[in-house]
């Protein structure tokens, strides 16, 4: 917000503090509910804690536009035997599983009766059983040995954010240099046998649909090599004026364009979940002091349709930037028929902070949940490929130019989670509400 948004440090700190304060409401709600349940149920309230925690994570996801960044279950994404549980219950169920271990320990600490050891033993057995099942699932290779192969490339252009911004402001030298960089990287990928090539989010420093010269260079390249290209570019949609005499307005979308091997546009996906304070400013009238940020941030409109991408006779899907953390959105793609997951992003905003690494891990969880290969193209990293079990096949380093090419598969088999969705999360909400109702004191007549 200071480097790219034009706010002073105190203003940026205050704006960030508002988001922190909002997100703090959910663990605070968990603590309040648990306190109330403990007064009513005693030590047994600890056994309900995992469901209460998941219910608050559901609140963090679905209230307002949601901000489900770094849910508890993501802590297990690199612990592959345990992470396989996400293929059944999703990241919310995995959050509940992690919370269960802590809840069992808390129960053993406050419950004086011998049954505390029974609960502890049952929890330990459950953890060991899940780990054994998960390890067996990974070693079986059932998903990676099935499906139709496709050779995919992800491009990491490593274009500094200030250069991207300068190019968007109309600097023709930078615009041509960035456009040529991606064309050259695409040729490199083609030379290595890639059939499906992913450019990062907002990779074109021009409007792909409107720039006939630079856009045609991409279409011509697709025709010459007979490859499919997915590129990130802003889209402008004219809007008719509401009243006569008023100038026409326009809506802007953060979009992904699929270029077919014949050079035509096969599909356009518009980003559905926009980044607060990055692509729009929530409560702009209330947060009047962030005026410079409002001016600096492109006021994008949100897309509505989870569009699929036709690739080599199969269907793929893409998520743009942080919307890959919405498990229900990725599931909606698979329900519609997506056989391959992709995500394109520009994480240059994050610098060397932990956010870029967290973003990669959260994207990897989607591969486990849906039982699909995942390809990720990021402007400055991390780019790479993840298999349906969450194993990293290739992975770039941060802030380097890279062209990664890998053999992935289109997969049609469905995981349990892809069929039931966030059922565990919604059950947690219902159980939490029911438990709270039991704590209501009857009115005295």
Mark whether 284 is an active-site residue.
Answer: no
Residues whose CB falls within 8 Å of the CB of residue 231, separated by 6 or more in sequence, listed in order? 182, 199, 203, 204, 208, 218, 256, 257, 259
Q: What is the chain's length?
A: 445
In angstroms, the Cα distances linking 379 to 70, 343, 344 are 21, 12, 8
* Alpha helices by DSSP H, 157-249: 161-168, 172-191, 212-225
Exactly one of 57, 271, 323, 369 is catalytic; which is it?
A: 271
Is 321 one of the annotated active-site residues of the chain?
yes
Rounded CA separation 398/282 (Å): 30
Residue 4 burial (CB < 10 Å; 0-12/13-18/19+)?
Answer: middle
Number of Cβ within 10 Å of residue 325's Cβ equals 25
Name which of 439, 422, 441, 388 is nearest 88 in CA terms: 422
**Set 57, 321, 339, 369: catalytic member:** 321
**Rounded alpha-carbon distances, angstroms, from residue 343 to 59, 199, 230, 307, 395:** 25, 10, 10, 13, 14
**CB within 8 Å of 68: residues ≥ 6 apart:** 57, 60, 61, 325, 326
What residues have CB less than 8 Å from 39, skipping those under 6 apart?
Answer: 439
**Other beta carbons within 10 Å of 415:** 21
Looking at 111, 201, 323, 339, which residue is catalytic? 201
DSSP E strand boundaries for 284-386: 309-311, 314-320, 340-345, 374-378, 384-386
Strands 374-378 and 340-345 come out as parallel
Residue 249 tokens read as 């307005």
What is the C-alpha separation between 182 and 158, in angstroms, rounded?
Answer: 10
Cβ within 8 Å of residue 259, ≥6 positions away: 218, 219, 222, 228, 229, 230, 231, 265, 266
| Active site positions, annotated | 201, 271, 321
């Amino acid at each position: 917000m200071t480097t790219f948004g034009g706010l002073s440090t105190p203003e940026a700190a205050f704006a960030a503090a508002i988001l922190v304060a909002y997100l703090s409401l959910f663990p605070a709600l968990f603590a309040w509910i648990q306190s109330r349940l403990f007064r009513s149920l005693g030590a047994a309230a600890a056994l309900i804690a995992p469901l209460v925690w998941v219910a608050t994570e559901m609140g963090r996801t679905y209230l307002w536009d949601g901000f489900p960044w770094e849910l508890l279950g993501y802590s297990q994404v690199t612990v592959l035997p345990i992470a396989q549980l996400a293929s059944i219950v999703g990241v919310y169920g995995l959050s509940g599983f992690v919370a269960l271990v802590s809840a069992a320990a808390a129960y053993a600490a406050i419950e004086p009766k011998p049954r505390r050891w029974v609960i502890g033993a049952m929890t330990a057995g459950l953890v060991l059983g899940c780990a054994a099942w998960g390890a067996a699932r990974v070693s079986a290779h059932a998903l990676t040995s099935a499906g139709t192969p496709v050779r995919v490339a992800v491009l990491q252009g490593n274009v500094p954010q200030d250069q991207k911004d300068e190019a968007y402001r109309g600097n023709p030298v930078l615009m041509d240099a960035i456009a040529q960089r991606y064309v050259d990287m695409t040729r490199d990928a083609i030379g290595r046998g890639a059939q499906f090539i992913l450019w990062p989010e907002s990779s074109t420093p021009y409007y792909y649909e409107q720039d006939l010269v630079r856009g045609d260079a991409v279409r011509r390249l697709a025709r010459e090599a007979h490859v499919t290209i997915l590129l990130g570019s802003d889209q402008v949609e004219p809007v008719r004026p509401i009243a006569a005499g008023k100038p026409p307005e326009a809506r802007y979308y953060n979009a992904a364009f699929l270029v077919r091997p014949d050079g035509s546009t096969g599909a356009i996906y518009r980003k559905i979940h926009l980044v607060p304070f990055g692509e729009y400013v929530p409560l702009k009238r209330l947060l009047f002091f962030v005026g410079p940020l409002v001016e600096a941030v492109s006021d994008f409109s949100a897309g509505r349709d989870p569009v699929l991408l036709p690739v080599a006779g199969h269907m793929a899907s893409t998520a743009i930037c942080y919307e890959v953390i919405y498990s229900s959105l990725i599931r909606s793609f698979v329900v519609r028929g997506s056989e391959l997951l992709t995500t394109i992003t520009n994480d240059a905003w994050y610098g060397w902070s932990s956010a870029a690494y967290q973003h990669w891990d959260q994207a990897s969880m989607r591969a486990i949940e849906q039982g699909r290969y995942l390809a990720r193209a990021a402007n400055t990293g991390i780019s790479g490929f993840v298999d349906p079990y969450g194993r990293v096949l290739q992975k770039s380093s941060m802030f380097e130019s890279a062209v990664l090419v890998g053999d992935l598969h289109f997969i049609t088999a469905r995981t349990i989670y892809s069929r039931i969705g966030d059922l565990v999360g919604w059950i947690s909400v219902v159980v939490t509400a029911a438990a709270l109702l039991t704590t209501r004191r009857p009115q005295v007549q």
